[in-house]
Structure 1
Amino acid sequence: MLKVTGSAMPGAGSLLPTAVLAAAGDGEKEAAAGPLHRDELSLYTAPQQTSRYVDPEAGQLEQSVATLRKSVEPYTGWCQDAYDKIKPRVQSAARFGVDTYVYLKDPPKDFYPRAGVIGFTGVLGLFLARGSRIKKLIYPTGLVAVSASLYYPEQAAAIARSTGDSAYDRAVRGYAAVEKLLRSPSGSDPGSGSDTKP
């Protein structure tokens, strides 16, 4: 049986060496060979752990799922890029739908008669454009645009201005591309050939 003599401060007992007395089998008390720390006693030390983690073997299902994930991995990046490109368009379409619903829920005065006249001019354009596909595209669109611009001149002017600007920008870009193609058909200017004189 072990007996540890302590000090007046309980927290300091673990820092200071103490005398340990052990009871012999016949009742005699023997002093230990020297002062010991409490950590040196087997009663206060925990055995050293020698355990290690071993990964369990993957089953057939886990292997097939891992193979499927590896084969699909290149496509997930492509799908994420496509989603990032489509997301703003979907959000703007949803916002347009909500705005249209709110607008039609409480429309301004004379909105429905004007919408009826604009729709009637589109149907009239389809009727007048019988026989040709180009006429079926131009007549209804032109008549709807004219009738809508009569009822909503400010919006028509803003649309015409933005459409004109974008058409002008595209025309300038097309002209620059054609000019670039005509100037260097083989990738170099014809007058920049190097003439070597003997």
Structure 2
Amino acid sequence: VLTVSAMPGAPQLPPFTVFAAGAAGGGEKETTAPLSLDELSLYAAPQQNRRYAEPEAGQLEERVATFRKLAEPYSAWCSGTFDKIKPKVQKVVQFGSDAYACLQKPPKDFYPRAGIIGFAGMLGLFLARGSRVKKLLYPAGFMAVSASLYYPEQAAAIAKSTGDSVYDSAVRSYAALEKILKNPQSKDANGDKSKRNP
């Protein structure tokens, strides 16, 4: 193949003449036929009709998808429950780490005070013979009294918060009891009136 003109770096090559050789030893005449670049198979780009085919899901993929659909409500429930429980767990962990740090470097006279509070609880347990209610109330009461002697500020704060919560619960229970007692009387009164005036 003989090229007549070619310019390197040209954006488009012009048509050129191609000399084709005949069969070897045939004695035929050489023919010349002008060809363009588009007619040569080397430069012609084949038409590409590409389509993306979705691969078929295998048995394992189908089983995993089915399992995920079945487990989705439970995982949502677990994540919601975990979000509710997480702050409480963090508070417990923080309390444990604070208690451990306090026991590593305790304040002055911590162990003697703890010993006296524990002894008061054991004394309450010893004095509470015969009744399960006494076994709950006496040790807790003796320990609370002895702890309040050593830590009066904390005892006052706890007593105040406990008193407020007890007062609120007493008011709520009184309102609920009053509502329960008033409703049956009003129903009976309405029933009596309906019986008297048909």
TM-score, length of structure 2 as denominator length:
0.73
Tell me which residue corresponds to 2:18.
23
Report deviation, 1:23: 1.6
Tell me which residue corresponds to 2:158.
159
**Separation of aligned partners in 2, 1:181 and 1:3:** 111
**CA spacing shift, 1:31–1:138, aligned 2, 3 Å:** closer
Report deviation, 1:156: 0.3
1:81-160 to 2 correspondences below 5 Å: 81-160=80-159
Please tell me whether the aligned partners of residues 3 and 20 of structure 1 are also in contact (alpha carbons under 8 angstroms). Answer: no
Identity %: 51
**CA spacing shift, 1:150–1:43, aligned 2, 3 Å:** same
**CA spacing shift, 1:2–1:46, aligned 2, 3 Å:** farther
Letter in 1 for 2:15: V
Instruction: Report the 3-state secondary structure (helix = DSSP H, G, I; strand = E; otherwise coil) of the residue aligned with 1:120.
Output: helix
**Separation of aligned partners in 2, 1:3 and 1:184:** 112
**CA spacing shift, 1:9–1:115, aligned 2, 3 Å:** same
**CA spacing shift, 1:30–1:67, aligned 2, 3 Å:** closer
**CA spacing shift, 1:27–1:186, aligned 2, 3 Å:** farther
Letter in 2 for 1:28: T
Report deviation, 1:168: 1.9
Q: Cα deviation per residue 1:64-109 (whole Å; 9 max; x = unaligned)?
A: 3333332222211111111111111111100000000111111111
**Separation of aligned partners in 1, 2:4 and 2:169:** 96
**CA spacing shift, 1:107–1:165, aligned 2, 3 Å:** same
**Separation of aligned partners in 2, 1:55 and 1:182:** 71
Please tell me whether the aligned partners of residues 21 and 29 of structure 1 are also in contact (alpha carbons under 8 angstroms). Answer: no
Tell me how large the CA RMSD over aligned residues is.
Answer: 3.8
Instruction: Report the 3-state secondary structure (helix = DSSP H, G, I; strand = E; otherwise coil) of the residue aligned with 2:34.
Output: strand
Q: Cα deviation per residue 1:4-57 (whole Å; 9 max; x = unaligned)?
A: 9788985xx36xxx632242534636375xxx9x8xx97263541424323234
| Structure having the higher Rg | 2
Instruction: Report the 3-state secondary structure (helix = DSSP H, G, I; strand = E; otherwise coil) of the residue aligned with 2:162.
Output: helix
Most deviating of 78-87 and 96-105: 78-87
Instruction: Report the 3-state secondary structure (helix = DSSP H, G, I; strand = E; otherwise coil) of the residue aligned with 1:179.
Output: helix
**Separation of aligned partners in 1, 2:123 and 2:138:** 9
Most deviating of 61-70 and 161-170: 61-70
**CA spacing shift, 1:48–1:147, aligned 2, 3 Å:** same
**Separation of aligned partners in 1, 2:2 and 2:172:** 97
Length, aligned pairs only: 183
TM-score, length of structure 1 as denominator length:
0.73
Q: Cα deviation per residue 1:121-160 (whole Å; 9 max; x = unaligned)?
A: 0011111111101101110111000000000000100111
Please tell me whether the aligned partners of residues 3 and 22 of structure 1 are also in contact (alpha carbons under 8 angstroms). Answer: yes
Letter in 1 for 2:132: R
1:2-17 to 2 correspondences below 5 Å: 13=11
Structure 1: unaligned runs, 5 residues or longer: none
Letter in 2 for 1:21: F
